[in-house]
A and B are shown apart, each in its own frame.
Chain A
């Protein structure tokens, strides 16, 4: 169980810089998820920690020891790949025990460790099968088992659930969470799926274009996104963004006119510096935070395009003439069935304000 520290880490391929100075501290036993859109550098960062990619500049410490130039096998890590990377010609047992053969572990000890990992992952009935005789979820469990037998300080997961179908993904997500509880190791997990990030992580690291946008607990990121990108990335369905212009400013509040929403006026509390009158801003409201009409606050009326009724929840997809799409979530609400428009209220306490540059204004 080791802590991990990245100090001003950069990665360049020729002239292309993909990791642009990452500083991060990961505590021992912490479950950290790197999340971000494809191409944000999250997998590269993980591969740099693993030692599969060279660190162009900066320092990587695992357990307080600088690891930049240490061989991947000596960093105390184990990695689970998206493609599982199982050895196709070896049985499950051989796959899990293969690495130990070269670590000078005695045969009976290998058998013991493999059996123990198989027990944890319920792989015992499959030990003599080849990878091609296993389902996707079973293969992923073998890949995890292969990591467990090495008893690593840090587990690295590179999009481990991306090749599984939706149902299995949910199942394996729970398995991995259970495993973390049982093994009590440091886990770094890469995914592009914010649901995985929210459900698994102790700490989420949101990456974009090779830089960290925000680090925090899942609900902190949800409640308090640092900028427009994180606000849009965390939460499902996505937060609604409405263009606005500041019409009045001062004394702990701003008034914003929503340009594309019938010029509705929203008064938002603000503790920090207020933007000038006339400044262009973005107002963010999560689909689940729209209030029913008449519950106070300013209201907007939008035309319903499509309504998805999932039973307990309904999602209403609405468009304004300007092309701004609004998604509204309603619980146990069926009264919109058959109507063309819907009016909702904006709760200022659950509304986010962003500057034209995308920074959060609080």
Chain B
């Protein structure tokens, strides 16, 4: 009896302690999520909303701009995430080598971009990649190109620029995860492999990568989510348009435009938001399936 009363008291105390956090979480997380799901079934402009059932989902399939944004987002995801993950892995392995000089400097230099101000770096990138910017000038002087590239004006190069920018910004961030994981690997595993005559490439392929698999999966999922939500860079580089001619328009930027730029269409933008949620869910699930340990251990 006394024990039951004590248990109950402990339960109540516990709930009281987490109540403030729960209330805030409910108010600012759960309520908006549920509300946005409800919103996604509303049609109409501005505040003039009415229940439209699956009308918004139907509209998605016919909306050329949405399909464009979806395509662009996928392009960024398919090219940028693998490039960045591989780069981060290579940097991490290189910078984990204890014989390398100035390791601390390189680690800091590669990590620094993700700590810099978004506006500052976007501005610098825009000036560097302008028609008469330093990048074009350098490429011209090296005779790699004969005419300056319109990085911001050409649909193809605009995409390339976005990919370069987010890769530059987030590679160091992912590298830190790999470095931390690499430092947790017992050094004698590599020494044993060296004595056993396992070549360097095989040590990387058959030892490092499998041992880093959980971290690789984690960074891939995190990067996927980040890329599907890509907004900042495209907004800054295209002055909010997603241009040239929607070639860098992403789902997030489209949601922003639907809500705040055009005649507000809250219901429809909520539907597009939920498209991102579903995509993140599907892609993360696929990644977990691919990385799953096939051994029945």
Contact = CB atoms under 8 A, between A and B. Distances in A.
Output the residue of B188, B195, B213 with the most chain A CB within 10 A.
B195
A46 to B, nearest CB: 12
B195 A88 contact: no
Output the residue of B196, B210, B211 with the most chain A CB within 10 A.
B196
B97 interface: no
A35 B195 CA distance: 23
A237 B286 CA distance: 62
B8 interface: no
B195 A50 contact: yes
Interface in A196-249: none
A15 interface: no
B63 interface: no
A82 B295 CA distance: 27
Given A73-B197, A102-B197, A81 B297 contact: no
A77 interface: yes
A89 B212 CA distance: 10
Contacts of A65: none
Contacts of A51: 194-195
Given A73-B194, A81-B191, A130 B199 contact: no
A106 interface: no
A83 B197 contact: no
A73 B186 contact: no
A72 B195 CA distance: 5
Interface string B181-219: 000001011011111111100100011001101000000
A95 B198 CA distance: 12
B195 A78 contact: yes
Given A89-B211, A102-B202, A130-B295, A83 B195 contact: no
Contacts of A83: 186, 188
Q: Chain B interface mostly helix, strand, loop or mixed?
A: helix
A98 B197 contact: no
Contacts of B211: 88-89
B195 A73 contact: yes
B227 to A, nearest CB: 28
Contacts of B198: 73, 98-99, 102
Contacts of B295: 91, 130
Interface in A155-182: none
Given A87-B207, A88-B211, A89-B211, A146 B196 contact: yes
A85 interface: yes
A74 B196 CA distance: 9
Contacts of A91: 295
Contacts of A85: 186, 188-189, 191-192
- What interface size band does chain A fall in? 20 to 34
Interface in B281-297: 295, 297
Interface in B95-127: none
A109 B252 CA distance: 58
Interface in A67-110: 71-74, 77-79, 81-83, 85-89, 91, 98-99, 102-103
B197 A74 contact: yes
Contact of B191 (A52, A103, A130, A133): A52
A51 B196 CA distance: 12
A88 B190 CA distance: 12
A73 B213 CA distance: 27
A11 interface: no
Output the residue of B192, B193, B194, B206 with the most chain A CB within 10 A.
B192
A62 to B, nearest CB: 13
Contacts of A88: 189, 211
A95 to B, nearest CB: 10
A77 B195 contact: yes
B210 A150 contact: no
Given A85-B186, A102-B199, A102-B202, A130 B297 contact: yes
Contact of A79 (B186, B192, B207, B297): B192
A125 to B, nearest CB: 16
Given A88-B211, A89-B211, A102-B202, A81 B192 contact: yes
Given A88-B211, A89-B210, A98 B196 contact: yes
A85 B193 CA distance: 9
Contacts of A150: 196
Contacts of A73: 194-198
Contacts of B210: 89
Contacts of A79: 191-192, 195
Contacts of A99: 193, 196-198
A248 to B, nearest CB: 57
Nearest to A94: B206
Given A83-B186, A85-B191, 16 more contacts: A52-B194, A71-B197, A73-B198, A77-B195, A78-B196, A79-B191, A81-B192, A85-B189, A86-B189, A88-B189, A89-B211, A91-B295, A99-B198, A102-B197, A102-B198, A102-B199
| Those 10 A-B pairs whose CB atoms lie nearest each other, nearest first | A73-B197, A99-B196, A85-B188, A85-B192, A81-B188, A89-B210, A72-B195, A85-B189, A79-B195, A72-B194
6 contacts: A78-B196, A83-B188, A85-B188, A85-B192, A89-B213, A98-B193
